[in-house]
Amino acid sequence: MSTHIAAKEGQIAEAILLPGDPLRAKFIAENFLENPECYNTVRNMFGYTGTYKGKKVSVQGTGMGQPSLSIYVNELFQFYGVQKAIRIGTCGAVHQSTQVRDIILAASACSDSCLLNQRFGNLHFAPTANFDMLFKAKQIAEALNIRHLVGSVTSSDLFYDENENWKLWAKYGVLGIEMEAAELYTLAAKFNKKALAILTVSDHIATGATTTAEERQTSFKSMMEIALETAIAE
């Protein structure tokens, strides 16, 4: 057991899905995995392991924001042998090329967080997805005929950003704003692991467009198909 995860050695799969919401992790385990078993209830940050098409896959809630994700991903990479981590979540679109319900495969993640400064000082690290996973996820999305975009996102520490920094990010081609991917990619680089963030666009910050509960459910299912197929791909 690690500080925040109560699993025993071998209870967590090498491939793991990382939703922010722990109840989402429970829902995914119960609806998308075969024979799910809960390995963590510490702080109600549920984690489950089951199989998908016969292959072992885990799903772990991370909480919202990079500091919370950082705790879980540090422990998963360092103590549980996780090799492939896929964040699944939502983002707010900022770029004109992006529409609500789209799926974004995040090739890279900019950030306004001081986490990068704490590690790198004046140096500027570029948090990047694992190319093999990104390529595989794109092939899967194409094969399933799911509309998707590949590009950069920004992981912000502020959900309520009064400075409207999204305008500058959009000017530089950033597709959407979320709150976790940059730290996931940074930790994957540090521990020589593979990571990818797959996001559905839940709202459009520039246009004010939002999704209905039904639309969110449909894009969620598409995102799950891409994520699970990518998780079990060789």
Residues annotated catalytic, as ranges: 203
Per rule CB under 6 A, is residue 205 in the interface with ligand HPA? Answer: yes
Does 159 engage in binding with ligand HPA (CB under 6 A)?
Answer: yes
Binds ligand HPA (CB under 6 A): choice among 11, 68, 90, 186: 90
Taking the least distance from each CB to ligand HPA, the nearer of 150 and 206 is: 206
Q: Cβ of residue 21: shortest distance to ligand HPA, in angstroms?
A: 11
Q: Are 45 and 72 in contact (CB under 8 A)?
A: yes
**Quick one: which of 58, 118, 88 has its CA closest to 181?**
88
Task: State which residue, 107 or 205, has the beta carbon closest to ligand HPA.
Answer: 205
Work out whether 178 is an interface residue with ligand HPA (CB under 6 A). Answer: yes
**Which stretch in 21-29, 34-42, 108-116, 202-210 sits in contact with ligand HPA by CB under 6 A?**
202-210
Give the C-alpha separation, 161 to 85, whole Å: 28
Query: What is d(CA 86, CA 133) in angstroms, rounded to the nearest whole number?
Result: 9
Q: How far is the CB of 89 from ligand HPA (least distance, A)?
A: 7
Contact 73, 186 (CB under 8 A): no
Q: Nearest to ligand HPA by Cβ — which residue?
A: 92
Q: Given candidates 88, 177, 196, 198, which one binds ligand HPA under the rule CB under 6 A?
A: 177
Question: Closest CB to ligand HPA among 5 and 170?
Answer: 170
Site for ligand HPA in 5-44 (CB under 6 A): none
Helix (H, G, I), strand (E, B) or coil at 233: coil
Q: Tell me the residue type at 10.
A: G
Name which of 25 and 82 has its Cβ closer to ligand HPA: 25
Closest by CA to 94, choosing from 8, 197, 174, is 174
The single-letter DSSP state of residue 162 is T
Q: Is 156 in the site for ligand HPA (CB under 6 A)?
A: yes
202 binds ligand HPA (CB under 6 A): yes
**Integer Cα distance of 199 and 75 in angstroms:** 23
Q: How far is the CB of 166 from ligand HPA (least distance, A)?
A: 8
Counting Cα atoms < 13 Å in the Cβ hemisphere of 117 gives 4
Q: How many CB atoms lie within 10 A of CB 151?
A: 16
Task: Work out whether 179 is an interface residue with ligand HPA (CB under 6 A).
Answer: yes
- Rounded to whole angstroms, the Cα distance separating 161 from 141 reads 32
- Footprint of ligand HPA (CB under 6 A): 90-92, 156, 159, 177-179, 202-203, 205
